[in-house]
A and B are shown apart, each in its own frame.
Chain A
Amino acid sequence: MSTTAASYRSSLPVGRDGFAQLLHAEWTKFRTVRGWVITAVAAALLTVLFAYLGTFHHENGGICVGANSASGTCQSYAHPSPPLGPGGEAVTDTYYFVHRTLAGDGSITVRVASLSGRIQAGNGNAVSVGDLGGAPGPLQPWAKAGLILAAGTKPGAAYASVMLTGADGVRMQYDYVHDTAGPAASARSPRWLRLTRSGATLTGYESADGRKWIRVGSAHLASLPQIVQAGLFVTSPQTAPDQQALVPGGSSKATGATATFGQPGLQGGWSPGGWTAGEVGDTGLYSTLSSVGSTRSGSGFTITGSGDIAPAVGVGDDDTPDLTGVFVGLIALIVLGAMFITGEYRRGLIQTTLAASPRRGRVLVAKAVVIAAVAFVAGGAAAAVSILLGDHLLRANGNYVYPVGTLTQLRVILGTGALVALAAVLALALGTALRRGAGAVTAAIVLIVLPYMLALYSALPAGLSRWLMRITPDAAFAVEQTLPQYHQVSYLYTPSEGFYPLAPGLGLAVLGAYTLGTMLVAHRVLRARDAAA
Chain B
Amino acid sequence: MSDATIAVSGLRKRFGQTVALDGLSFTVAPGTVTGFVGPNGAGKSTTMRVILGLDAVDEGSASIGGRPYASLRHPLRHVGSLLDAGALQPSRTARNHLLWMAHSQSLTASRVDAVIDLVGLGSTARRKAGGFSLGMRQRLGIAAAMLGDPPALIMDEPFNGMDPEGIVWMRGFLRSLAAEGRAVLVSSHLMSELEDTATHLVVIGRGRLVADTSVAELIGAASAGRVTVRTSSRAEATRALTDAGAAVSATGPDALTVSGLAPERIVELLGQSTVPFSEVAVHRSTLEEAYMELTRDAVEFRTVEPGTGRHTAEATR
Which of B92-100, B202-210, B218-226, B286-294 touches A?
A: B92-100
B97 contacts which chain A residues (CB < 8 A)? 32
B41 within 8 A of A: no
Contact of A347 among B87, B99, B100 (CB under 8 A): B87
**Is B52 within 8 A of A8, CB to CB?**
no
Q: In the complex, what residues of B have CB within 8 A of residue A14's CB?
A: 106
Please encode chain B, from 30 to 63, with 1 for each CB lying within 8 Å of some chain A CB and 0 for all others: 1110000000000000000100111110000000
Instruction: Tell which of B31, B54, B73 touches A354, judged by Cβ atoms closer than 8 Å.
Output: B54
Are A12 and B89 neighbours in the complex by a CB distance under 8 Å?
A: no
Q: Is A6 an interface residue (CB 8 A)?
A: yes
Residues of B within 8 A of A15 (CB): 74, 105-107
Cα distance A358–B87 in the bound complex, in angstroms? 17
Given A7-B181, A21-B105, A28-B100: A349 touches B88 (CB 8 Å cut-off): yes
Asked if B256 is an interface residue, CB under 8 A from chain A, the answer is no
Does residue B214 face the partner (Cβ distance < 8 Å to A)?
yes
* Cβ-defined contact, A32 with B75, below 8 A: no
| Residues of chain B within 8 A of A74, CB atoms compared | none
- For residue B217, which residue of chain A has the nearest CB? A2
Instruction: Name the A residues within 8 Å of B182 (CB-CB).
Output: 7-8
Q: In the complex the two chains form, is A358's CB within 8 Å of B111's CB? A: no
Q: How many residues of A contact B (CB 8 A)?
A: 44
Q: Are A11 and B149 in contact (CB under 8 A)?
A: yes
The answer, yes or no, to whether B180 is at the interface (CB within 8 Å) is yes
Asked whether A25 lies within 8 Å of B103 as measured between CB atoms, the reply is yes
The answer to whether A28 and B96 have CB atoms under 8 Å apart is yes
Say whether, besides A15-B107, A16-B106, A356-B105, A348 and B183 are in contact (CB < 8 Å).
no
B interface majority secondary structure: loop
Indicate if B233 sits at the interface (CB-CB under 8 A): no
Q: Which residues of B contact A347 (CB under 8 A)?
A: 86-90
Contact B107 A28 (CB under 8 A): no
Given contacts A343-B89, A354-B53, contact A7 B107 (CB under 8 A): no
Q: Does A29 contact B (CB under 8 A)?
A: yes
- CB 8 Å contact bits of B157-184 with A (1 = contact, 0 = none): 0000000000000000000000111110
Question: When the two chains form their complex, are residues B89 and A1 in contact, meaning their CB atoms are under 8 A apart?
Answer: no
Minimum CB distance partner of B76 in chain A: A356
Q: Which of B127-177 contact A (CB under 8 A)?
A: 144, 148-151
Is the pair B87, A348 in contact by a Cβ cutoff of 8 Å?
A: yes
Using Cβ atoms and an 8 Å threshold, which residues of chain A touch B149? 10-12
Residues on B with C-beta less than 8 A from A517 are none
B4 within 8 A of partner (CB): yes
Which of A8, A21, A358 gathers the greatest number of chain B CB atoms within 10 Å?
A8
List chain B residues, Cβ under 8 A from A356. 75-76, 101, 104-105
- Could you say which residues of chain A place their CB within 8 Å of the CB of B56? 530
Q: Are A531 and B106 interface neighbours, CB within 8 A?
A: no
Give the complex CA separation of A445 and B30 in angstroms: 53
Residues on B with beta carbons closer than 8 Å to the beta carbon of A355: 52-54, 75-76, 81, 83
A sample of 28 inter-chain contacts (CB < 8 A) reads A3-B31, A3-B199, A4-B31, A5-B30, A7-B151, A8-B4, A8-B181, A8-B182, A11-B149, A12-B111, A15-B74, A17-B74, A17-B105, A17-B106, A25-B104, A28-B100, A33-B92, A34-B91, A347-B86, A347-B89, A348-B84, A348-B86, A355-B54, A355-B75, A355-B76, A356-B76, A358-B70, A530-B56
**A residues in contact (CB < 8 Å) with B:** 1-12, 14-17, 21-22, 24-26, 28-29, 32-35, 343-344, 347-349, 351-352, 354-359, 530-533
Question: Nearest 5 pairs between A and B by C-beta?
Answer: A15-B106, A5-B31, A7-B30, A25-B104, A32-B96
